[in-house]
Chain A
Amino acid sequence: MGNNEKKGNALTNNPLVNAIGTQKIVVVLVIILLAILFSVMSPAFRQYSTVVSIFDYSYYISFMAIGVTFPLITGGVDLSIGTGMVSAGLVGGYLVTFKGMPTAVGMLAALCVGLLLGCFNAFLAAKLELPPFIATLGSMMVARGIGSIITGGMAVTWPPSSDPSGWFRSIFKISVGGLNLPIGFLLVIIAVIVMSTVLNKTRPGRYIIALGSNKEATRLSGINVVKWQSLAYLISGLFTGLAGIAYAATFQTIAPGTGAGLELDAIAGAIIGGTSMNGGYGTIVGTLLGVFVMSLLKTGLPFIGLQANWQQIITGLVLIVAVLIDVIKNAKRA
C-alpha cells in the first residue's frame, strides 16, 4: 500500500485538481459534454426554457440526494426517500387542498412526514442494527402505502401559482416580466453549503464520516455510534420532506403510490459525485454535480427522441457504471 504513496501522474498531483477532486472534474466535463451533445443533436434543446426545466428537475432530486449522502457515508443506504418524498407531498397537499389548511402548515406537515420516516429508519438501521438496505426497503413500502391511505387513494394537487396560497411555488421559480427565473437553485446552493459545513466542520459530520470509515474504531474512541448513525437517517428523512415540497412545486399533481424508483436517481447522483457505497467518503458538492448529470439526462433525452422509458434504462446503466467505478476504486485501495 505504502509504495503507492507518491505515485500518480502530473494531473492528479496538481494541487488545484487535488483540492477539487479528480472525480468532480470528470463529472463537470461529463455535464458539459452532455449539454453540447444535446445541443448539437436537437435545436429545440438550445432554449432558455430547457435550462429552466433542467433546474426544475434538479430540485427534488438534489434534496433527496443531499439527504441520502449521509446514510451512504455511514456505509448504509436509504431506499425510502423516493416513496417517502411522494408521501410527504401527498400528506402536505392533502391538508392544504382537502382540509383547507394554510400552505405553510402543509409544508410543515411534509417536513414532519419526512422526519418521522427518518426516525423510523434510524430506529431500524442504527438501533436494531437491521441491514440498512432491507430496513429501508421495508419503510419504503410502508411510506408508499401510508401516503395514499391518508389521502384515501386520491391524487393531490397543490394550489397553482396563480392562487394566492400557491406562493410556495415562487420559492422555486418566479416570473419576472414573463421570464421564468429558477431561483430554487439558490435554495439548493444554501442547502449544499449548510450540509457541507455540517459534514466537514461539525462533530456530527465528523463522527458520521468516522463511523462509515471504521465503525469499531470509532466506537472504541468513545463515540456513541448509534446516536450519530441515527442522525444520518434523520438528516435523510428531513431532506426527504424538503424534497416533497420541491416535488409539489415542480409538478402540478402528485399521484399516490408513485415514487418508487425515484430514489435511484438520487442514489445514482450521489455515487456519480464520488460518494462511496462502502462508506467513509462523500461530498455534498459532488452529490450536487451528480444530480445535475441525472437531471440533464432526464430533461435532455426527450429532445433527442428518447422518452421516459429510455430514461429508466439510462438511469439503470448510469447506476451500474457508477457503482462499478466505486467497486473498482475500492478494490484498488485495498
Chain B
Amino acid sequence: MGEVILTMNGIDKSFPGVHALDHVNLEVRKGEVHALMGENGAGKSTLMKVLTGIYSKDEGTITYEGKEVEFSNPRDAQAAGIVIVHQELNMMNHLTVAQNIFIGRESMSGKLINDKKMNEEAEKLFQKLNIQIDPTEKMGNLTVGKQQMCEIAKAISHDAKVIIFDEPSAALTEAEIEELFKIIRDLREKQLGIVYISHRMDEIKVITDRVTVMRDGGYVGTLITKDSTKDDIINMMVGRVIYEDPKTQSNVAKDAPVVLKVEHLNAGKMVRDVSFELRKGEILGFSGLMGAGRTETARALFGADPVDSGEVYVNGQKVTIKNPMDAVKCGIGYLSEDRKRFGIVVQKTVAENSTMADLDHYMSGIFINKKKENEVAQKYVDSLKTKTPSVDQLVVNLSGGNQQKVVIAKWLVRNCDILIFDEPTRGIDVGAKSEIYHLMNELVAEGKSIIMISSEMTEILRMSDRIVVMCEGRKTGEMDISEATQENIMHAATLRD
C-alpha cells in the first residue's frame, strides 16, 4: 500500500425524512483494494454517489491527491480520474467493443473515424489488462462478464487513478470472477486505488486489503482484512441493535397443513433448484442480499416469468402455473417490490384497482356493478385503514403506504390464500410500516399464508415464523425463528455454493 490518494471525512447527507449518511469516513491508498461493506441500504451507494458528484454533500470534506475537491457531475469526476464501474452496465449493444470504449472521443483521420486505430488502442488496453476480447466484436454478443471487462478497460482508458467497483461479481460466473480478480490485482500493482463494493464475504477475504463497514448510513469502522475474521466483519455489519419485538417462536403449529410446496424450481440464472414449503397461517421470510434471486423465485412461482423446470403443489394438488392468470386461479397473490411499475394502475381509482383481479364478481350481467365495487373497496379501505378521501380517488394521489394497502386490498378482494409480499414496506414511512405488520399478523391469524421477501433484517426477525435464506439463486439456509439470529442468517446469505 502506498500513500493516501483519496480521503472522505465526516460526510453527511440527508434527504427529506432520511438521514442517509451520518458522518462517514473512507480512506483509499494507492495500490490498495478497499472493500466497502454493509447491509442493503447501509449507504454504500449513496456515499459513492456523493464522491462522484451525483449527489452533493451536506457536510464533510473530500480530499483527492492532496487537494480538497467537490465534483458537480460524474464527468468531472471521471476527468479527474475517479471512475465507477456500475453494476448495471451502460452499453450500446449494437456498437463494437472499441466503439463503445471510445464513444465521444473517437480517433479521427480527417473527417472520418479511424476505427482501425481505435481497435488497436483497445487491443493495447486489453493486453495491458491481460484479457482476451476482440475489439471488433459487437458489445451485445459478449457475456456480461466480458462486458464488465470492457467497462473496466473504458475506465482505464480515461487514465483512472481511483476505480470503484459497484458489486462487480453479482452477475459473473466463477471463471469470470477469477479473471476479474486477476485484473484487479494487476491494477493494484499499477498503484491504482480501488474501492470494491460487495456482499460476498469470501471475495472480500480473497481480494481486499482493508474493509470499511457501514451500517444504517453510519460509519462503523475499518479493518485490515488479513487480520480479521469473517465473523468480525459480520458482527460489525449487523451491529448489536435491540429490535423492537423480535419474534421468539413460531406461531404455527408443527402439523399445520402445507398449503404450498415448491420443488426444484429452476428459472433462468437466478432461480436454481429452489424447494420450500409454506404452511397454513405461516409467515415464511425470504432473506438474502441484493440479487440473491428471491424476487425472481417469487415471479417464477407466480408465472410472471417463464419457468424452466420444477413442481408446484397447492393444497397438495400439483398445479401448472404458466402465467399470472393460472397463479391467481390457484389463489396466489403477488405484491411486487416495484409498486408503481407492477402493482397499481396509478391513473385509476382506489375502487378500480381494488377489484382489478376479481372483476368477475362485481358484475351485474355485462355491466360493472359500481355500487358493489365501491362497497367492497370501501370495506377494505376501512379494514386496512387506507387513508384516502374516497374510493373514487386516483391512486396516484395516495402516499406510498396507502398505495401498498390498495395492492393488498386487490388480493384480499380476490380472496387469495397465499400471498407473496415482496419488500412490502419498502419506501413506506414508519407509521404505515407497523400498520402493514399488524395487518400481516391479522391475515395469518385468519388462516392465510404469507411469503415475505425482505431485505431488512429487522423485518425478517420480527415477522417470520420460519426463514428461508437465498444466495445466488440457491436456497442456502432454512431455519425456524427460534433458532434464527442475524449472524446465522448473514452467514447463509453469504454462502457461495
Direct contact of A and B (CB under 8 A): yes
CB–CB B104/A209 < 8 A? no
Given contacts A197-B112, A201-B113, A223-B103, contact A217 B142 (CB under 8 A): no
CB–CB A214/B144 < 8 A? no
B111 contacts chain A at the CB level, 8 A cutoff: yes
CB–CB B95/A213 < 8 A? yes
B248 contacts chain A at the CB level, 8 A cutoff: no
CB–CB A202/B111 < 8 A? yes
B91 contacts chain A at the CB level, 8 A cutoff: yes
Q: For chain A, give the interface size range.
A: 20 to 34
Identify the interface centre among B104, B108, B140: most chain A CB within 10 Å of its CB: B104
Given contacts A197-B112, A201-B112, A202-B113, contact A213 B94 (CB under 8 A): yes
A203 contacts chain B at the CB level, 8 A cutoff: yes
CB–CB B93/A5 < 8 A? no
Expressed in whole angstroms, the minimum distance between the Cβ of A292 and any Cβ of chain B is 25
Expressed in whole angstroms, the minimum distance between the Cβ of A283 and any Cβ of chain B is 11
Closest to B93 in A: A213
Expressed in whole angstroms, the minimum distance between the Cβ of A215 and any Cβ of chain B is 10
Expressed in whole angstroms, the minimum distance between the Cβ of A196 and any Cβ of chain B is 12
CB–CB A210/B113 < 8 A? no
Closest to B103 in A: A221
Give the A-B contact count at a CB cut-off of 8 A: 60
Q: Give B23-60 as 1s and 0s: 1 = Cβ < 8 Å from A's Cβ atoms.
A: 00000000000000000000000000000000000000
Q: Find chain B residues with CB under 8 A from A5 CB.
A: 141-143
B445 contacts chain A at the CB level, 8 A cutoff: no
Q: For chain B, give the interface size range.
A: 20 to 34
Give Cα distance in the complex from A180 to B145, angstroms. 59
Closest to A278 in B: B94
CB–CB B92/A213 < 8 A? yes
The residues in A between 1 and 48 inclusive whose CB is less than 8 angstroms from any CB of B are 1-2, 5
Expressed in whole angstroms, the minimum distance between the Cβ of A25 and any Cβ of chain B is 18
The residues in B between 89 and 120 inclusive whose CB is less than 8 angstroms from any CB of A are 90-95, 99, 103-104, 106, 108, 111-113, 115
Closest to A215 in B: B92
Closest to A6 in B: B141
CB–CB A2/B145 < 8 A? yes
Q: Find chain B residues with CB under 8 A from A55 CB.
A: none
B75 contacts chain A at the CB level, 8 A cutoff: yes
CB–CB A280/B93 < 8 A? yes
Give Cα distance in the complex from A210 to B74, angstroms. 20
A168 contacts chain B at the CB level, 8 A cutoff: no
Q: Give B119-160 as 1s and 0s: 1 = Cβ < 8 Å from A's Cβ atoms.
A: 000000000000000000000111111100000000000000
CB–CB B93/A2 < 8 A? no
Classify the interface of chain A: helix, strand, loop or mixed: helix
Q: Find chain A residues with CB under 8 A from B104 CB.
A: 221-223
Q: Find chain B residues with CB under 8 A from A50 CB.
A: none
Closest to A216 in B: B90
Given contacts A202-B113, A203-B113, A210-B103, contact A217 B141 (CB under 8 A): no
A212 contacts chain B at the CB level, 8 A cutoff: yes
CB–CB A280/B94 < 8 A? yes
Q: Find chain A residues with CB under 8 A from B91 CB.
A: 214, 217
CB–CB B106/A203 < 8 A? yes
Given contacts A2-B144, A5-B143, contact A218 B103 (CB under 8 A): yes
The residues in B between 53 and 79 inclusive whose CB is less than 8 angstroms from any CB of A are 74-75
Closest to A4 in B: B141
Q: Find chain A residues with CB under 8 A from B141 CB.
A: 5
Expressed in whole angstroms, the minimum distance between the Cβ of B370 and any Cβ of chain A is 34
Give Cα distance in the complex from A73 to B103, angstroms. 17
Give Cα distance in the complex from A197 to B115, angstroms. 12
Expressed in whole angstroms, the minimum distance between the Cβ of B160 and any Cβ of chain A is 16
Q: Find chain B residues with CB under 8 A from A220 CB.
A: 74, 90
CB–CB A206/B143 < 8 A? no
A59 contacts chain B at the CB level, 8 A cutoff: no
Known interface pairs A2-B142, A214-B92; 12 further A-B residue pairs with C-beta atoms within 8 A, sorted by A's residue number: A1-B144, A197-B112, A201-B115, A202-B112, A206-B95, A210-B95, A210-B103, A214-B90, A214-B91, A218-B92, A222-B104, A280-B94
Chain B positions within 8 Å of A, measured between CB atoms, are 74-75, 90-95, 99, 103-104, 106, 108, 111-113, 115, 140-146
Chosen A-B contacts, 26 in total, with CB atoms closer than 8 Å, are A1-B143, A2-B143, A2-B144, A2-B146, A5-B142, A5-B143, A201-B113, A201-B115, A202-B112, A202-B113, A203-B108, A203-B113, A206-B103, A206-B113, A213-B92, A213-B93, A213-B94, A214-B90, A214-B92, A216-B90, A217-B91, A218-B103, A220-B90, A280-B92, A280-B93, A333-B140
